[in-house]
A and B are shown apart, each in its own frame.
Chain A
Amino acid sequence: EAGVAQSPRYKIIEKRQSVAFWCNPISGHATLYWYQQILGQGPKLLIQFQNNGVVDDSQLPKDRFSAERLKGVDSTLKIQPAKLEDSAVYLCASSEGGRIEAFFGQGTRLTVV
């Protein structure tokens, strides 16, 4: 089966600019996750969708980050405006509802200068 697709693979922006990341989960997977991974740390869950509803967004900095999942399939994560501390790898993952394992994309490496 095709894996989780993310784009772009790399992005460099200046602080205060905006940026968007795209994720296409594995077909049929109801659960979609966005994680932020700062260098040297484990992935931090930003938001979790179940179909197109939000299950958890308690760690999402809502003043600058937003995410949506269109029709319960693709998802976009946006940062506006970006700060230097947003430099990280943004990972998308998906899993079947009720299944145990989550499948991760390769991530988008964001550098804010």
Chain B
Amino acid sequence: DAKTTQPPSMDCAEGRAANLPCNHSTISGNEYVYWYRQIHSQGPQYIIHGLKNNETNEMASLIITEDRKSSTLILPHATLRDTAVYYCIVRVVEYGNKLVFGAGTILRVKS
């Protein structure tokens, strides 16, 4: 699985968009980009995933660059409850493939 690089921490004002970057310069053509988040004292929670097109769901948007070497997770209107550790993961979607976490980005949403 390709390695990802994320900033260790970021701050965001409540109500503003939170843009979390992720570099994955060694990503392979069949590897997807996943985002999970982990709120304090809970297990990680799936947010969104994508291959090469931008994706949006009720939680967030995922923007993947054309060369696929980096991506950005966007929380359009961050709330205090979005304070969490956000993990960017790249993996091949195969039956039984591993899900490997890095250190992630601590996002602090402040009022």
Report yes or no: B96 in contact with A97, Cβ–Cβ below 8 A: yes
CB distance from A105 to the nearest CB of B (A): 6
Report yes or no: A98 in contact with B95, Cβ–Cβ below 8 A: yes
Stretch at the interface among A11-19, A48-56, A60-68, A73-81: A48-56
Chain B CB within 8 A of A31 CB? yes
Given contact pairs A98-B95, A100-B32, A106 touches B49 in the complex (Cβ within 8 A): no
What residues on B are CB-neighbors of A107 within 8 Å? 42-43
What residues on A are CB-neighbors of B43 within 8 Å? 4, 91, 93, 104-107
Chain A residue nearest to B101 in the complex (CB): A42
Q: 5 tightest CB-CB pairs across the interface, nearest first?
A: A104-B43, A101-B46, A42-B101, A50-B96, A43-B101
Interface residues of B, Cβ cutoff 8 Å to A: 32, 34, 41-46, 49, 85, 87, 93-96, 98-104
